[in-house]
Amino acid sequence: MNAASIMKLMSAKNQFSKNHPKFEAFLKSVFSRKIEEGTVIEITVTRPGEAPITSNIKVLQSDLELLEELKGLTQ
């Protein structure tokens, strides 16, 4: 990744953090500890004028292995 792309990405990250400080604090809290097998991750999306849609996953060992592989790609 070149320097210009990194700067653009950091600028977008900073704007996102400024726009959504509670979400950034939430993510910091969640990822302050390791996600372990059996953890349930749930997400709800609510579009204007529509009913919320919710889904969840229970984290499996294979999910953790995939995340470790992905982390290795970014280092």
Residue pLDDT, tens place only, 30-68: 989 999 999 999 999 999 999 999 999 999 999 999 988
Looking at the structure, tell me whether residues 29 and 40 fall in a common domain. Answer: no
Residue 75: per-residue pLDDT? 60
Looking at the structure, tell me whether residues 3 and 27 fall in a common domain. Answer: yes
Q: Which domain holds residue 19?
A: 1-33
The 10s digit of each residue's pLDDT in 2-22 is 888 889 999 999 999 999 999
pTM exceeds cut of 0.75: no
First to last CA, the chain: 12
Residue 73: per-residue pLDDT? 75
Looking at the structure, tell me whether residues 40 and 70 fall in a common domain. Answer: yes
Question: Would you say residue 74 has pLDDT above 70?
Answer: no
Looking at the structure, tell me whether residues 26 and 46 fall in a common domain. Answer: no
Residue pair 60/41 in contact (Cβ under 8 Å)? The answer is no
Looking at the structure, tell me whether residues 41 and 23 fall in a common domain. Answer: no
Looking at the structure, tell me whether residues 6 and 42 fall in a common domain. Answer: no
Q: How many domains does the chain have?
A: 2
What 3-state class would DSSP assign to 13?
helix
Looking at the structure, tell me whether residues 54 and 29 fall in a common domain. Answer: no
